[in-house]
Structure 1
Amino acid sequence: MTKVFHFLLIFMYIFFSFFFPLIYSDSSVDGFIYGGCSQIKYSSDSPYESNLNSLLTSLVNSATYSSYNKYTIVGSTQQDMINGLYQCRGDLSMPDCATCLARSVSQLTELCPQTCGGVLQLQGCFVKYDNFSFLGSEDKNVVMKKCGPSNGFDLDEMGRRDAVLGSLMGGNGLYRVGGSEDVQGMAQCVGDLSMAQCQDCLSEAIGRLKKECGGGVYGDMFLGKCYARYTTKGAHLYAKPNHHDSHSESEKTFALIIGLLAGVAILIIFLTFMRRICGRNGKFNYFLTLIYSNFLFTYYKIINDYVLSLFFFFFFFFCR
């Protein structure tokens, strides 16, 4: 019986951890851009660790229904207080936003173990936490710059690039996109900034982008609270504005539905088989209900990052 348990555990772990992420991985959403950690550490099992866990849980939960949010967790002392926020890219759907946040929080905890502050920017989302107050404050420090080569970038394209960046500068809202023929541009501010602060931040980012990337075929300028990007001829791929391929979108939706249904079917078969092996006891029935409800309630990509460990913990506890 033990060998059967081990075989099934290995099979399920390989299937869910490796097969599905290969299907659903999207570099335009969860691709790494930059990350950083503070030098100050906190102790294990400290009030700060508990507050940080509460904060990160709140951020992930909030991303299922809002593309931006901020939280402050107050501790018994000033040193235990923690601030945090997240921001999804303005064109992301809520499922993609939630998935991006789940992945970014998971990566951030690995990148910054036991540090009092951390920041991570993926292609589709941004998350930051720290024990000093940064909410509502501008940050125009350059945290990441990337410029493409200048080969093949003619004067006409440079003129269109400048026009696109100018349209981003003159746009409205925290998320802005623009395009002219083969040139595409994107800019965004973090949601805790006012419109005046956002405009000031983008002015700095766009000015630096034009000056420091010159005739590069693409350019990225990420400041602490905003960024501006452009690309030409698909040289630096990311989400492009106002170009929606209905055929590819329908294929993506169809693949997602098929994958989700396959996952549900396999999970039901597996749990039914485990129920027969472990017996019809109350504990396992409760466990079975818990797994069903979690799987059907949340999106699979979030399940992949957070529920697997819970699944195997309950399995060993109730079926040993």
Structure 2
Amino acid sequence: MKLANLETFVHLARLRHFGRTAKHLNTTQPAISSRLAALERELGTQLVVREGREFHLTPAGHEALRVIEKMLSDFDTLKLGFANPDNIAVTLRIGAIDAIVQTWLPRLYDRLRHAYPAAQIEIVTDSTANLLAHMRSGDLDITFCLDPVLEEGYRSFVLCSYAMSWIGSPKLVDSGRIYTVAELAAMPLITFQRGSPPYRMIAPYFQDESVLASQLSNSNSLPTMIRLAIDGFGVAAVPTIVVQKELASGELVSVRVNKPFPPLNFIASYHPAPGSLLTGRVAELARRTAAEFCTEVDPGLAWVEGTPDR
């Protein structure tokens, strides 16, 4: 049983596309089909059912995927155990949203550079939706964002949570006043892009879908939202931890509201794909780095799951 056939099957099950799998493995679609057929002959069962350009795993395919993933994971662990960390020349492709980039991602990056000096580390900053799309297409190894990847084979866990605050320019907001939700809804709002996890929280917060049709400015960039708020375009709900300097300088003020905005949970997702030697270790290091960051800041601003002190 060839290792390449096992690895190809796992990548194919993850990417759900023969063309993307061929591109990811730097080979051709006929080669992918040939490897799959060889594995099915060796196992004596059909693993994949093709329906035009789409396909799905058979019950035997799901069982084979579970066993083969463990075999390859154990083999990668064995290789990693014999490897000198200074000589592990792999590419780590990390995707993160702005709130993570602005808090503890630089610390994680420095630790990875120190632990694996031969590794090439690529950082992609984007929206949750785009990062998850890159993950599913095999273009990222691990993501830190607001939604998990729910497909089979992926692993996801909550890294940390951040408190949210409504913020705005002192030209627009009376810092000594407590606003009702209705009064807040009447103000111009700055939100994350439509369809994003924070955007989906707006209507339930106001208990009124019509708020989404009011005066809105949208952005998929947290720094842009903060800049718009400073310039008086409206009020925005953002992680409080990322605007501490602006609040301290008076560029922004907190909007005191009689109903707090729910916190955001940040989730790590990765796929232990064959050859991804360091992905699991990166995930664990990210968990520790996020937890460490949370212990160093006001516990009401950031915390690990199950331990908010607010």
Q: Does TM, normalized by the shorter one, top 0.5?
A: no
Query: Could you state the TM-score of these two structures normalised by the residue count of structure 1?
Result: 0.21
- More helix by percentage: 1
Greater RCO between the two (CA within 8 Å, min separation 6)? Answer: 2
